[in-house]
Amino acid sequence: MDSFLDLIFIPKCMFCSVMGRYICSTCLAKMKTLSEEYCVVCGKESENGITHSRCRSSGTPSQLYSAFEYTSLVRAVIKRSKYKSKEFLGLKIITELAAELCKEELSKFTSYVVIPIPVSAIRLKDRGFNQVETIVKVISKRNGNKVKLGLLKRITDSIAQYSNTRKERFANVSGVFEVEKSQKNLVADQKFLLVDDICTSGATLLEASKVLYKYGAKDVKCFALSKKL
């Protein structure tokens, strides 16, 4: 029976194996949404993730909005999208849910150009994709934003961040981003929505934001599919 069902491609839930959808509605309901938003600079709670006025300086994003807590099922979907070969369907499904849950906030950013946090050239060569582009595509399609996939690039390889201290994370990403040469004149007076799959310390988003402001960006906001608490 199994082989017959495999033949006609009825998807099974990646978590509970129920037939019908790659993530079934029961498991989708278990994705933990954030109950608070946080300032990208100090990591403390802030209304709608707006950067505290005491935390703002010339290179900081004005807001960070995140959809889910980086835990349990959300973490499993994100991990699979990175390390298993092109397993984007789960990521696409939870991003669609995120876009629905955050639609009110996202609708305020329709004039923002959406850009993904890039992966390093080595990782890109290794994997052949940047999973964050999947999130960018879903969000921009639903919200009607312009997208610039190649505007920001990673110029050096930072070491994987999982076990670093906060201080080390900031040192780690210092100087890793640059605007693509041919796009430098497209940054001035533009508003950008930087997108990432996980926000941990905020170091990556802050560093990328700094580079955009350096070339004259008018405003930078951030959207993270998940936030590590």
Provide the binding-site residues for Zn ion, judged by CB under 5 A.
13, 15-16, 24, 27, 39, 41-42, 52, 55
Least distance from Zn ion to the Cβ atom of residue 55, Å: 3
Kindly tell me which of 19 and 171 has the beta carbon lying closer to Zn ion.
19
Kindly tell me which of 24 and 151 has the beta carbon lying closer to Zn ion.
24
Contact 40, 51 (CB under 8 A): yes
Distance CA 179, CA 101 (A): 31
Residue 32's SS3 state is: coil
Residue partners of 162: CB distance under 8 A and separation at least 6? none
**Angle CA(109)–CA(66)–CA(219) in degrees, nearest 5?**
35
Least distance from Zn ion to the Cβ atom of residue 226, Å: 19
**Crossing angle between the packed helical segments 203-214 and 166-173, to the nearest 10 degrees:** 30
Least distance from Zn ion to the Cβ atom of residue 28, Å: 8
Kindly tell me which of 56 and 191 has the beta carbon lying closer to Zn ion.
56
Distance CA 55, CA 43 (A): 10
Kindly tell me which of 16 and 121 has the beta carbon lying closer to Zn ion.
16
Least distance from Zn ion to the Cβ atom of residue 228, Å: 17
